[in-house]
Chain A
Amino acid sequence: MKWFNRKSNLDEMQELKLLKIESRGFWIGFFGLFVAIAAQTFFYGAENVQHTLAGEFIVLMLMGIYLMGGCLRNGIWDRHLPATPVVNIGLSLLAAAIASLFNAVCSYRDYQSASGAFAVFIVYFFMLGTVLSVTLCICSALYHRKKRRLEEENTDEEN
Chain B
Amino acid sequence: MKNLKVKLARMEKDMSQTELARRIGVTRQTIGMVESGDYNPTLNLCIQICKELGKTLNDLFWEDNDNEMV
Identify the closest chain A residue to B25 (Cβ): A11
- Taking each of A11, A12, A13, A14, which has the highest tally of chain B beta carbons within 10 Å of its own beta carbon? A13
Interfacial chain B residues near A14, Cβ < 8 Å = 27, 29-30
Query: For window 58-115 of chain A, which residues contact chain B by CB distance below 8 Å?
Result: none
B41 at the interface (CB under 8 A from A): yes
Interface code A8-19, partner B: CB below 8 Å = 1, 0 otherwise?
000111100000
Distance (Å) between the CB of A149 and the closest chain B CB?
Answer: 27
How many residues on the B side are at the interface (Cβ–Cβ under 8 A)?
11
Query: For window 22-68 of chain B, which residues contact chain A by CB distance below 8 Å?
Result: 25-27, 29-30, 33, 39, 41-42, 44-45
Distance (Å) between the CB of B10 and the closest chain A CB?
Answer: 17
Distance (Å) between the CB of B31 and the closest chain A CB?
Answer: 9
In the assembled complex, the Cα of A25 lies from the Cα of B39 at a distance in Å of 22
Interfacial chain A residues near B30, Cβ < 8 Å = 11-14
Interfacial chain B residues near A12, Cβ < 8 Å = 26, 30, 41-42, 44-45
Identify the closest chain A residue to B45 (Cβ): A12
Interfacial chain B residues near A11, Cβ < 8 Å = 25-27, 30
Docked-complex contact B33 and A13, CB < 8 angstroms: yes
Interfacial chain B residues near A13, Cβ < 8 Å = 26-27, 29-30, 33, 39, 41
In the assembled complex, the Cα of A71 lies from the Cα of B39 at a distance in Å of 26
What are 7 A-B interface contacts by the 8 Å CB criterion? A11-B30, A12-B26, A12-B42, A12-B44, A13-B27, A13-B30, A14-B30
Which of A's residues lie within 8 Å of B, judged by CB? 11-14
Which of B's residues lie within 8 Å of A, judged by CB? 25-27, 29-30, 33, 39, 41-42, 44-45
- Further 14 A-B residue pairs, CB within 8 A, beyond A12-B30, A13-B29, A13-B39: A11-B25, A11-B26, A11-B27, A11-B30, A12-B26, A12-B41, A12-B42, A12-B44, A12-B45, A13-B26, A13-B30, A13-B33, A13-B41, A14-B29
